[in-house]
Amino acid sequence: MNLRLLSISMMTCAAAFLCVGCKDVPGRPGSEAERPDQVLKFAVLYKQNCAACHGEDGRSGAAISLANPVYLAVAGADKIQQITANGVPGTLMPAFAKSHGGMLTDQQIAVLAEGLESEWGRADALGGQIPPPYASSSAGDPAQGQKAFTTFCASCHGVDGAGVVRGKIHTGSLVDPAYLALISDQGLRSLILAGQPQENMPDWKSDMTGAGSRAMTDQEIADTVAWLASHRIATPGQPYMHP
C-alpha cells in the first residue's frame, strides 16, 4: 500500500471514530441524554430539589424531616404534592411547579410525593389513631396554649419555652424571636404533630410527662401554636444602625 492510500485509509478511520463519538455527547444531534423535565427517578429528583433543605437522607436538614413516617401519614401524599407544587408563602419553601414559576412538571412533583411515601412511609405510623388535621381547624387561644405547653412540652423545653439544660446539652428556645421569624405557624404545628425522631422529640400521640399518657387534641395543638406565635416580634434581631 502506497503512502497516499495509507493516508486516505487513516483519515477515513479517524472520521468514522469521531462520528461514533459524537453520538454520545450531550446536546449533539443523536444524543440520548435526558432533558431536566424528563427525569422521573425519585432519588435524582430528591437530591436535586429537596436534599439541600431536608437532608440527603430526609432528615437532619434545616427544614422539617421528610423521612418521618408520622409526618408523611398526617400530611398525606396530596398535601405534600400541593406544598411541593405551590410552595409556602412567607417561608423559605419555594414553589417547584412550572405553573408557579418553578422547574418541575406535574409528573415530576407526583413522583416526588409518591417516592417519599414509598421510601420513608409506614403503614402503621399512626398506631391506629386518627390524627388531628394537618392544618388547624380552629383558632388558637394563647392563654390556653401556655397551659397546654406546660402539660405537654415543659419537661423538655422549660415552662417558659426557653429550653432546659441537661448536662452539657441545651434543648434550645422555642420562644426566641429569631427562631420564630424563620418558622410559620403551620411549621410549628407540623413539628408538634410529627415530632422529630432524630432529636427524640415525641409526636402528638406519644407518651409525654405529666400528660397522663394521652395524645394532644386538635385544640391543644392550635392553642400551643398560638402561644408560641405570640412571642414573635416585628423586627427580630438587632436592627442596623443608620448614619
| Structural domains of the chain, ranges and CATH numbers in brackets | 36-120 (1.10.760.10), 142-229 (1.10.760.10)
Amino acid (one-letter) located at 160: D
pTM comes to 0.79
Beta-bridge partners for 166:
169
Look-up of cell digits 462520528: 19
Give the whole-angstrom CA distance, residue 139 versus residue 172. Answer: 26
Give the whole-angstrom CA distance, residue 243 versus residue 137. Answer: 47
| Burial profile 124-163: b = 16 or more Cβ within 10 angstroms, e = fewer | ebeeeeebbebebeeebbbebbbebbbbbbbebbbeebeb
Q: Residue 56 corresponds to which cell in the numbers above?
A: 440527603
Give the whole-angstrom CA distance, residue 218 versus residue 208. Answer: 16
- At 143 the pLDDT is 97
H or E stretch covering 166:
strand 165-166
Contact yes or no for 47/57 (Cβ under 8 A): no
**Nearest partner of 54 among 70, 37, 66, judged by Cα:** 66
- At 23 the pLDDT is 46
Q: Residue 14: helix, strand or coil by DSSP? A: helix
How many CA within 13 A on the CB side of residue 38? Answer: 4
**What is the per-residue DSSP string for 26-59?**
TTSTT--PPPGGG---HHHHHHHHTHHHH-TTSS
- At 94 the pLDDT is 95
Query: What torsion, rounded to 10 degrees, do the Cα atoms 171, 67, 112, 61 define?
Result: 30
Q: Residue 109 corresponds to which cell in the numbers above?
A: 412533583
Reading phi first (left if > 0) and then psi (alpha if -120 to 50, else beta), residue 83 is in: alpha
Contact yes or no for 161/228 (Cβ under 8 A): yes
Beta-bridge partners for 196:
201
Beta-bridge partners for 201:
196
Q: Would you write out the chain's pLDDT as a tens digit for each of its 243 residues? A: 454 544 545 455 444 444 444 445 555 555 567 898 899 999 999 999 999 999 999 998 999 999 999 999 999 999 999 999 999 988 889 999 999 999 999 999 999 999 999 999 999 999 899 999 999 988 899 999 999 999 999 988 999 999 888 776 777 899 999 999 989 999 999 999 999 988 888 999 985 555 556 899 999 999 999 999 999 998 776 655 555
> Could you tell me how many residues make up the chain?
243
